[in-house]
Chains A and B, each alone.
Chain A
Amino acid sequence: MTAAPLLEAIGIRKRYGHVEALRGADFCVDRGEVVALIGDNGAGKSTLVKVLAGVTQPDGGEILFDGEPVGLDDPTTVRAMGIETVYQDLALAPDLDPSANLFLGREALRPGLLGRLGFLDKAAMSQRTRQAFAELGAGVQSYSAPVGYLSGGQRQSIAVGRAAAWASRLVFMDEPTAALGVVQSKKVLELVRRVRDTGIGVVFISHNMPHVFEVADRIEVMRLGRRAARFRPDETSMEEVVAAMTGAFVQEEAS
């Protein structure tokens, strides 16, 4: 295995009109590691995730995957690399059922001629959906209802389950526990650890400090579009981390 980290982003810049969402952001995550990416509202966390997921094109910066420079210029390429994302807005199709959402963009087709004509293998997909969500411990209440009818927490479980089911190298989770109750949050945290234990890198974004300290192997703090500090949870305190988020504590100067 190479010594280079799994994914490294260097000096990423992204501007939306007058807003500079990312001003030279650095970020790093390794195999089998949970990195908590935290920062105040508007710090640029979601923007960074979208850049690394290939759905937003950065204005500048470099991205290394397995030490190799890569261009993450469309979501299909990124997904083919084994990178999955739980977006903050979930990015589910509310009118489709859980199975259609789990397989969206990578539908299983019927074998033979029918498959070549684009016929869906609905039975196989729905069976694998039940299996996947059962294994993930996601309490999906109905497999036949459009996901728009499910509760916010259940939809979040579906988005998390979808990412976890397909990821083979790296998962980004943008506030995956935001809408969840205590029990479901605990399950997601367990899931994060299980995914990590298979050697997959996990990037966990959350405003919930107890969750962050419970699950993270490392913490990276963003502030105003760039990395402000890096911590190990066992060598720091919530006070120090929060100070870094607010700018009261500065570890990394702008380069």
Chain B
Amino acid sequence: MSAPSQSAPQTDAPPPDIPEPGAGHPLLRLLTETTALIFVVLLVLVAVFSALRPQAFATVATATNIAIASATLLVIAVGMTFVIITAGIDLSVGSVLVFSSVVAVKAMEQVGGAQGWASVAAGVVAALLAGLLWGLINGFLIAKAKIPPLIVTLGTLGAALGFAQLITGGIDLRGVPRELVVSVGLGGLFGVPWLVIVALTVTAVAVVALRLTRFGRYTLAIGSNPEAARRVGINVDRHLLKVYAIAGTLSGLAGVMSLARFTTTTIAGHTTDNLQAIAAVVIGGTSLFGGIGTILGTVVGVFIPVILQYGFVIMRVDPFWQTVAVGIVLIAAVYVDQLKRAARERL
């Protein structure tokens, strides 16, 4: 059987009695366009800061700084978006990043003594595999052992960081090849930093995967109603395993990006990465209850806190206000999500 239209009983069925009137009430429609809404918020912020301090804010240098500062978080947040769409959560991303970067430095010391491109390649592969491994552990415990994601990833948050500290004795490793730091960390292509290019590539692939492929469709379906997905024969456990594996691998990639940027492991520097990523995803309109979400929303959600931070610094507002502002935006985003749910709370 290839298509419903072929197997559907074909008789003198009456035509549909209700013509299609679009997607319902206009207000509902606006609420469903959270991504559009939050994008407008971002544009307004940029416009306001640019208007108030054009020489300081609306410059290529500022834009580049903001982009570099956001690149690592963006990669993590993209993975987090898939996880949250399945109604899951991954608290371990920052620790997995640290663990992966430690493993990468160790691998780069082994191969070519932390010099040359072969050494860099070994480090990248090691970091990705380390991230993948933690992702598989998370996915296995969540999908097969049925332990709640919050608990599993809280456990691996501690475990991954603990292993990183055991390997290093708690002291940051500095053996990062010059090639990685100079080319990737500082260099760019046509003025666009490599770190930003990597982050944008990951983002673009994720947009396509979520919107246009069966993988993305299953991710949304599982988040929306896992039992329905199971009953149509989707292998829910295997899909969840894949989603957490992707999130872990992207954390591994972020580990390499962090090495390239800071020329050292930053063991103590990623304790809030998980919360920042979750905030970005949620501000971007992805529902913590699963089933709804976009990558582009997450991109906006990553940039809003960073723009606020830069904007406040330039405006000489006490930067502590940034934390307050992000908190308010986060709560507002979840509130909008709740309103949306209430509007369709019938299933």
Contacts and interface: CB of A to CB of B under 8 A. Distances in A.
B3 interface: yes
A104 B344 contact: no
Interface string B85-128: 00000000000000000000000000000000000000000000
Nearest to B226: A93
Interface string A127-162: 011011111111111111111110110010000001
Contacts of A194: 9, 11, 13
B13 A135 contact: yes
Nearest to B287: A95
B37 interface: no
A120 B212 contact: yes
B224 A145 contact: no
A44 to B, nearest CB: 19
Contacts of B3: 108, 128
B58 interface: no
Interface in B142-169: none
Given A105-B234, A144-B22, A166-B7, 8 more contacts: A90-B228, A91-B225, A104-B217, A107-B214, A136-B8, A141-B18, A145-B23, A166-B4
A136 B13 contact: yes
Interface of B: 1, 3-5, 7-11, 13-18, 20-24, 28, 32, 212-215, 217, 220-221, 223-225, 227-234, 291-292, 343-344, 346-347
B21 A142 contact: yes
Given A134-B15, A141-B20, A79 B233 contact: yes
Contacts of B5: 128, 131-132, 135, 165
A132 B291 contact: no
20 contacts: A85-B231, A92-B225, A94-B225, A96-B291, A100-B221, A104-B229, A104-B234, A105-B229, A105-B233, A106-B232, A118-B213, A119-B214, A131-B8, A136-B13, A141-B20, A142-B21, A143-B20, A144-B23, A155-B347, A166-B1
Interface of A: 53, 55, 74-76, 79, 82, 85, 87, 89-96, 100, 102, 104-109, 117-120, 122, 128-129, 131-149, 151-152, 155, 162, 164-168, 183, 187, 191, 194-195, 197-198
Given A148-B346, A166-B1, A142 B23 contact: yes
B1 A82 contact: yes
A132 B4 contact: yes
A9 to B, nearest CB: 19
A93 B21 contact: no
A195 B8 CA distance: 8
